[in-house]
Amino acid sequence: MSLYCGITRRRKSFWCCRLLSTYVTKTRYLSELKEDDDACKKAQQTGAFYLFHNLAPLLQKSEHQYLAPQHSLLELERLLGKFGQDMQTIEDSVLNGCSEQQEAWFALDLGLNSSSSINASLQKPEMETELKGSFIGLRKALFQLNVKDASLLSTAQALLRWHDAHQFCSRSGQPTKKNVAGSKRVCPSNKIIYYPQMTPVVITLVSDGTQCLLARQSSFPEGMYSALAGFCDIGESLEEAVRREVAEEVGLEVERLQYSASQHWPFPNGALMIACHATVKPGQTEIQVNLRELEAAAWFSHDEVATALRKDNPSYQQQNGAFPFWLPPKLAIAHQLIKEWVEKPTCSILPP
């Protein structure tokens, strides 16, 4: 028996080490591609490309979800040649990941005019016909993608948008030049290096112990409520940002808070969503909605929220002209926060 247990433990250790080694190898390979232009150009030869047009990814419909097709460099060469473009367009691509077998993944926008490209943007309808797909806004398609494609396309769009907005040096006004991977831009005149960045955003689910507070903005789909969210100000800690946002938006003072998780979010311009649970004192729950920030906010019971979590596409279930209360889709970190609270309402009740 002891011999069997020893073998089992060794097997578990072996698989854990193998998993870790795969991750480390993949991470170091990506790091090499970001720093070595020649290595990255070589990786493009055998890599796969995701295509965009004015930041909208190329997608193909499959039953109830979208799929993101990949294209080889050879396929891209044929495509660009057919539309009178040369391979210089490839210089605008960005590295956005790789497989465990070290197949590099790139993203290329065929609709943006880059300072590094002399070619005009390609026409969308003709491209869609040739590629047998549609360029669909990521905000519209995100929740109909699988987790892998959603993550890859979100990262790709954020990188493409950043490069489109940072083609000139803020100090000299001269054009900046991206490296092959797109992990940085350099000003040739003063050697300033610019790196892609994300904006930190706190998203907070407030509870009084028995209820949770949810709110909606006018831009939300009809009937949808979510956790409170806002950008971090310069100089703030995470805790300070949470307390300020809750006070600003609903007029409540946070007593305790706990970090939950984080998520990259591509909207509006690439954000790091930092999710937290927060509690207020049971006797201090009167909401004062800041109408400059929110359209509405309210306390919801455990049963109300649990029922809403079970709804499938409720925004389309119109009843007598009114939309029922519903919550963000599963892919959003707000959904995870709310689900955590429903499964364990006391997760927000923390020691002082």
Mean pLDDT of 299-311: 93
Question: Cα 160–114–70 angle (5° rounding)?
Answer: 45
Residue 288, both tokens:
């004062």
pTM of the predicted protein model: 0.84
Return mean pLDDT, the chain: 88
Residue 143, both tokens:
């929740």
**How far apart are alpha carbons 164 and 305 in whole angstroms?**
41
Residue 5's pLDDT is 46
Q: How far is CA 337 from CA 228, 269, 285, in A?
A: 11, 22, 20
The answer to whether the beta carbons of residues 2 and 8 sit under 8 Å apart is no
**How far apart are alpha carbons 323 and 225 in whole angstroms?**
12
Mean pLDDT of 277-284: 89
Residue 125's pLDDT is 87
Residue 281's pLDDT is 81
Residue 9's pLDDT is 46
Which option is the CATH number for 199-312+321-349: 3.90.79.10, 3.30.70.20, 3.30.360.10, 3.30.450.40? 3.90.79.10
Strands, E assignment, the chain: 48-53, 56-62, 65-67, 94-98, 104-109, 134-135, 177-178, 185-186, 193-194, 199-207, 211-216, 228-231, 256-265, 271-279, 296-301
Q: Is 32-194's fold the same as 199-312+321-349's?
A: yes
Reported residue count of the chain is 352
**How far apart are alpha carbons 156 and 199 in whole angstroms?**
16
pLDDT confidence bin for 217, thresholds 50/70/90 = very high
Residue 86's pLDDT is 81
Mean pLDDT of 8-30: 66
110-114: long-range contacts, CB 8 A cutoff, minimum separation 24: 110/51, 110/52, 110/53, 111/52, 111/53, 111/54, 111/55, 111/56, 111/135, 112/54, 112/55, 112/160, 112/164, 114/163, 114/164, 114/167
Domain coordinates of the chain in residue numbers? 32-194, 199-312+321-349
Residue 319's pLDDT is 55
Residue 31's pLDDT is 96
**How far apart are alpha carbons 35 and 56 in whole angstroms?**
28
**How far apart are alpha carbons 200 and 231 in whole angstroms?**
6
CATH number for the domain formed by residue range(s) 32-194: 3.90.79.20
Whether 221 has a pLDDT exceeding 80, the answer reads: yes
Whether 121 has a pLDDT exceeding 50, the answer reads: yes
Q: What percent of the chain is helix, strand and coil (3-state, nearest 5)?
A: 40, 25, 40
- 């927060």: which residue's tokens? 278
pLDDT confidence bin for 116, thresholds 50/70/90 = very low
Mean pLDDT of 179-204: 96
Please report, as a single letter, which amino acid is at residue 165: A
Strand order in the sheet with 177-178: 177-178, 185-186, 193-194
Q: Which position has the higher pLDDT, 94 or 84?
A: 94
Mean pLDDT of 322-345: 89
Instruction: Give the residue among 251, 261, 269, 169 at the shortest CA–CA distance from 215.
Output: 251
Whether 314 has a pLDDT exceeding 60, the answer reads: no
Please report, as a single letter, which amino acid is at residue 129: T
- 């969503």: which residue's tokens? 273
Whether 324 has a pLDDT exceeding 90, the answer reads: no
Kindly write down the DSSP assignment for every residue of 214-231, as one continuous string. EEE-TTSPTTB-B-EEEE
For strands 271-279 and 228-231, give the pairing: unpaired
pLDDT confidence bin for 206, thresholds 50/70/90 = very high
pLDDT confidence bin for 10, thresholds 50/70/90 = very low
